[in-house]
Structure formats: C-alpha cells, structure tokens
C-alpha cells in the first residue's frame, strides 16, 4: 500500500476518514460515547462479538451445559482453534500457533526449549527490553543483559538465545526480523520474538523473515480483553524437535487417554500446558472476528499514517517524539517525552482522551486502525496542545502517581 499523506487540517482528516477502507470496522466496537481511546497498545476495547461470547460462555456454556460444554461448545479445541485464527495476523500456518498461558510463561517455555537449538544455556536480553522479558531471562540462570543495539553482536559471538521485542514497548521502534535471523543462523543462535506490541498492527510474515519462535500477548492491538491468554508461535520446521519444559496435559497427544507417559502433541500445540481459562479465551475468540477480511497491509498503512499525524502535530507544539519519524520503522504507538508526562496524561484523561504513561517520562499514544479515526487523532492533539498551552497539567491532583496508568 502507498503511504497516506499527512493531513494538515481537520477537514483533510474528515476526508481521510470517509475514504478509509477500514471505516466500517469501528462499528463493531463498544466505545464509550465521546471518549478518544488511544491506549489500544495497552488494553484494546471490546468488539460486540467478544462481549457476546463471554455472556454465552457464562450463561449457556457454564450454567446450562456444565461439564458437557467442554465438548458441545468446543472449549477443548479453543487453544488450537483460536491459535489458527491468530496465525493469519503473523503470516503463520494455522498449526504453528497455540493460545496458552501468559507472555511471561511462554517466553520461559520457549527459552528453555531453545537450548536444544543452541546447545548452550545462554540467554541474552537488551537493557531496553520490556521488564518481564528481562526478568524471565534473569530467572533462567546463564543470562546476560546487553546494551541497546548490541544484541546482534551478542548472538553472533557464541550460540545464544535472544529474547527480543519486534516493537519496543517504549520507543515503538521496529526491528528487522530477517536481519537478526540471518545473524542468528550464522552463529547457531536462536531468537524468541516478543510480538506483544506488534500483533494486530503490523503486516507480519514471520516465516518469510525466517522467524522460528515467538510469543505475544493478545490484549493490546488484538483486543482480546484484560489478561487475555497469550500465544506461542513455533515454526513447523522445528516444532517437533522441541520440548516444553512444562509438560502439562493440554500439551499431550491424547490428554484424556490418561496415559502415564508424556507424548507431546505435534507442532506448536505441544507448548500448551494446563486447562485454559475459558471465559478469557472465548473473549479472545470473539475479538479476532474484528480482523476477518481486514487487509493487514491496509491496517499497517493506516497505523503509520495516524502515527505520522500525531508526530507532526506534536512537533508543532514543541514536544519531542522518541519514536522513529520514519513510519516504516515504527509500530502502532508513538511516545512523546515530557518531564511532566504523568501529569499531562492525567489532564488529558480528564478531557476524555486516553493515552498512557511509562516511567519516567514517556506519554504513549496508540493508534489501532480498527477504531481510531484521523479526526480522533486531530482532536486529541488539539487537547494536548491546549493542556500544554494553558499548563492545565500543573495541578496537584494530576501529579499523584497511581500504581498503573
């Protein structure tokens, strides 16, 4: 898709919204009236189908069907069925993805399994990586933290497993997956891609880029709901050589045969572990319906254009972006830095514009193309300009820090 020119007036934004091939997608979402929600990179909103599926699973599946619903409602097959739907968003084959556990647990399983590929216990992670990725590596023993930008050298040296985000949570910078995979292949290293901030916003093709292992969350741009179960991607080329360290019964070839011997399922399914949380899994299944028929290249092109608009207008009011100006190198969010970022975000929330904040100074604005319009970004940036101009953020109630923002 050709890039979209940055609009310079609200009228031009309106025209872009009218011409937007994704404009119908917004109708599927439940969004509070008058709220501009730019936090889809943290928790996406529900579509109608996700809410319908939760209610059905509770009232019809659980209360009426009881134990029978594991079969009659297809609950038992959901980890693979939902995985197959997700697979399209990352360019994978249906059986290369299973929905299971959290990102933390999945990174652990994959990093443990990857020792079979590297022949070493070494795990590397960058100092700018999302904290849970760093913690998982630390918890594994033979880990090293490398300086930002030095991961390529780390994996070229000794065979090492690198845990690396495709989109950095703070800067939104995208990494060139193929370049890293080429370096890893040369040295016998392995890379576990964290797709948390990438899935549902980028036009990903993991197999084409040579990626073999990945995990990601589904509650950001995939809109699966709070704490929605995460996923594991394992390339069919290597899956059957690997073993999950957590050999739970949902990863067994025949979980209800009650065999004494563990026989892992074929492909990525072997990375499933325990019984999955059905309400959260059904919500995710419903959320994925919003992506049906959506072109990933259109999705990515719109996300880039919305981010370009945000950066252009932020620059006008003197705000510095730490996200790449080149939209081809940027994910679905833009980070603007300001020493009073926390208070500014609070002032925006009071005006019904919702970004989020990451310590110490980053205000993150997320642009999910399924429901964010060009006019939303325009209006949000109007509010941001006004908050800065009037110093509206400089009030005591905005300056208290909460546990989560």
To the nearest whole angstrom, how small is the minimum distance from the Cβ of residue 229 to a second copy? 6
Residue 203 Cβ vs a second copy, minimum distance, rounded to whole Å? 26
Q: What residues does 232 pair with on adjacent strands?
A: 98, 215
Q: Among residues 70, 187, 298, 350, which is the contact residue for a second copy, using CB under 8 A?
A: 70
Tell me the sheet residues that pair with 161: 123, 190
Q: Which is nearer to a second copy, 117 or 246 (CB)?
A: 246
> 192: closest CA among 248, 235, 147, 139?
235
Among 64, 293, 318, 328, binds a second copy (CB under 8 A): 64
Whole-angstrom Cα distance, residue 349 to residue 366? Answer: 14
Judged by CB under 8 A, the number of residues near a second copy is 86
CB 151 to a second copy: min, Å: 15
Of the candidate spans 32-40, 158-166, 291-299, 327-335, the one that interacts with a second copy by CB under 8 A turns out to be 32-40
Asked if 237 touches a second copy (CB under 8 A), the answer is no
88 touches a second copy (CB under 8 A): no
Q: Does 261 bind a second copy (CB under 8 A)?
A: yes
396 binds a second copy (CB under 8 A): no
The stretch near a second copy (CB under 8 A) out of 87-95, 231-239, 258-266, 290-298 is 258-266
Does residue 147 contact residue 127 with C-beta atoms inside 8 Å? yes
Q: Closer to a second copy by CB, 65 or 91: give it.
A: 65
d(CA 135, CA 147): 16
Q: How far apart are CA 296 and CA 309, in angstroms?
A: 20
For the bound state, the minimum distance from the C-beta of residue 29 to a second copy, rounded and expressed in Å, comes to 9
Q: Which is nearer to a second copy, 256 or 328 (CB)?
A: 256
Q: Which stretch binds a second copy (CB under 8 A): 185-193, 319-327, 355-363, 382-390?
A: 355-363
């509770």: which residue's tokens? 58
Contacting a second copy within 131-190 (CB under 8 A): 131-132, 134-136, 138-140, 145
Q: Is 219 in the site for a second copy (CB under 8 A)?
A: yes
Q: Does 229 bind a second copy (CB under 8 A)?
A: yes
Selected from 280, 323, 335, 346, the binder of a second copy by CB under 8 A is: 280
Q: Is 5 in the site for a second copy (CB under 8 A)?
A: no
**Residue in 260, 318, 339, 396 binding a second copy, rule: CB under 8 A:** 260
Q: Which is nearer to a second copy, 188 or 227 (CB)?
A: 227
Decide: is 324 part of the binding site for a second copy (CB under 8 A). Answer: no
CA distances from 223 to 23, 136, 176, 211, 228 (A): 17, 25, 25, 24, 9
Site for a second copy in 291-320 (CB under 8 A): none
Please report how close the Cβ of residue 252 comes to a second copy at its closest, in angstroms. 6
* Binding test (CB under 8 A) with a second copy, winner from 22, 26, 61, 319: 61
- Please list the active-site residues: 130, 194, 219-220, 364
Least distance in angstroms from the C-beta of 129 to a second copy: 9
Cβ proximity of 130 and 172 under 8 Å: no
Task: Confirm or reject binding of residue 358 to a second copy (CB under 8 A).
Answer: yes
Closer residue to a second copy (CB): 243 or 351: 243
Longest distance between any two alpha carbons in the chain, whole Å: 69
Choice from 17, 255, 298, 352 touching a second copy (CB under 8 A): 255
């Amino acid at each position: 898709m050709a890039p979209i020119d940055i609009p310079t007036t609200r009228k031009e934004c309106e025209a872009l919204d009218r011409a937007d091939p994704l404009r119908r997608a917004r109708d599927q979402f439940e969004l509070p009236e008058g709220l501009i929600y730019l936090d889809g990179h943290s928790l996406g909103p529900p579509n109608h189908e996700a809410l319908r599926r939760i209610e059905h699973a509770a009232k019809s599946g659980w209360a009426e069907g009881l134990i029978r619903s594991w079969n009659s409602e297809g609950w038992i097959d959901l980890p693979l069925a939902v995985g197959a739907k997700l697979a399209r968003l990352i360019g994978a084959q249906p059986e290369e993805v299973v929905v299971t556990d959290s990102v933390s647990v999945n990174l652990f399983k994959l990093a443990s399994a990857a020792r079979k590929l590297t022949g070493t216990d070494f795990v590397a992670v960058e100092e700018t990586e999302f904290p849970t990725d760093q913690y998982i590596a630390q918890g594994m023993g033979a880990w090293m933290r490398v300086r930002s930008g030095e991961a390529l050298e780390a994996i070229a040296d000794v065979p090492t497993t690198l845990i690396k985000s495709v989109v950095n949570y703070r800067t939104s910078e995208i990494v060139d997956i193929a370049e890293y995979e080429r370096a890893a292949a040369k040295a016998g290293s392995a890379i576990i891609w964290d797709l948390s901030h990438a899935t549902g916003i980028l036009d990903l093709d993991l197999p084409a880029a040579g990626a073999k292992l990945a995990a990601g969350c589904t509650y950001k741009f995939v809109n699966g709901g709070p704490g929605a179960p995460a996923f594991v991607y394992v390339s069919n080329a290597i899956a059957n050589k690997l073993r999950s360290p957590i050999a739970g019964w949902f990863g067994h070839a025949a979980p209800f045969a009650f065999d004494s011997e563990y026989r892992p399922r074929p492909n990525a399914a072997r990375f499933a572990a325990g019984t999955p949380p059905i309400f959260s899994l059904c919500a995710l299944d419903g959320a994925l319906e919003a992506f049906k028929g959506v072109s990933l290249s259109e999705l990515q092109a719109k996300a880039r254009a919305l981010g370009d608009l945000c950066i252009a207008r932020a620059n006008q009011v003197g705000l510095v972006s730490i996200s790449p100006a080149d939209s081809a190198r940027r994910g679905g969010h833009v980070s603007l830095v300001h020493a009073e970022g926390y208070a500014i975000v609070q002032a925006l929330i009071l005006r019904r514009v919702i970004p989020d904040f990451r310590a110490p100074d980053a205000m993150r604005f997320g642009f999910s193309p399924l429901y964010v319009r060009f006019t939303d970004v325009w209006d949000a940036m109007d509010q941001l300009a006004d908050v800065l101009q009037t110093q509206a953020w400089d009030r005591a109630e905005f300056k208290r820090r909460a546990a989560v923002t």
